[in-house]
Amino acid sequence: MRLEPVTEEHLPLLVELNADPEVMRWLLGRPATPEETAAEWRQRLERQSDPARGLGYWAGFEDDAFLGWWSASSFAHDPSLAGLGYRLARSAWGRGLATEGARAMVARAFAVPDVTRVGATTRAANTGSRRVLSKAGLRHVDTDDGEVAYVLTREEWAARDD
């Protein structure tokens, strides 16, 4: 799998990804419109990317096939926290690619000296995403109103034996 930084040139691929009702099932509960996807990505790239620190969003490809995206995103309110995210095309499901990309994002996040935690949330009923987070080394820390939170500290990551 090849990862490259997401740019505006990837927008048609992201629109197609977000148009799949199964991909968006746990997010919007319906396909996103092209306008919603464009707004989502403007916000992500402007507010949650910090290329100078090595944090942001990456598009994944296998040969020339778009697999989806992964992120180790930054938060202005807490520079010690990186947000782990991912969204994959159905053609990439069930092949271990979500976990592979998530692990790459965790490593990328912890390559930033001031990042001490990687966190993620998902719907409690989204067992596939919960498995990915666990396999990437994150542990479940909270459940609130159908959402579950996962976290991995730098110390836990350094002590792993994989």
Q: What is the pLDDT of residue 77?
A: 86
- 86: nearest Cα among 108, 71, 72, 99: 71
Give domain status of residue 158, yes or no: no
Give domain status of residue 65, yes or no: yes
Q: In the structure, what pLDDT confidence band is assigned to residue 130 with cuts at 50, 70 and 90? A: very high
> Which residue type sits at 53?
R
Domain hosting residue 47, numbered range = 2-116
Tell me the sheet residues that pair with 85. 71
Q: pLDDT tens-digit profile of 36-89?
A: 999 999 999 888 788 888 899 999 999 999 999 999 998 878 999 999 999 999
Give domain status of residue 153, yes or no: no
Q: What is the CATH number of the domain that holds 45?
A: 3.40.630.30
Q: In the structure, what pLDDT confidence band is assigned to residue 24 with cuts at 50, 70 and 90? A: very high
Q: Is the pLDDT of residue 20 over 70?
A: yes
Give domain status of residue 86, yes or no: yes
Give domain status of residue 156, yes or no: no
Predicted TM-score (pTM) of the model is: 0.93
> Mean pLDDT over all residues of the chain?
95
d(CA 54, CA 50): 6
Length of the chain, in residues? 162
Give domain status of residue 128, yes or no: no
Q: If you average pLDDT over residues 98-123, what whole number do you get?
A: 97
Domain count, the chain: 1
CA 92 to chain centre: 14
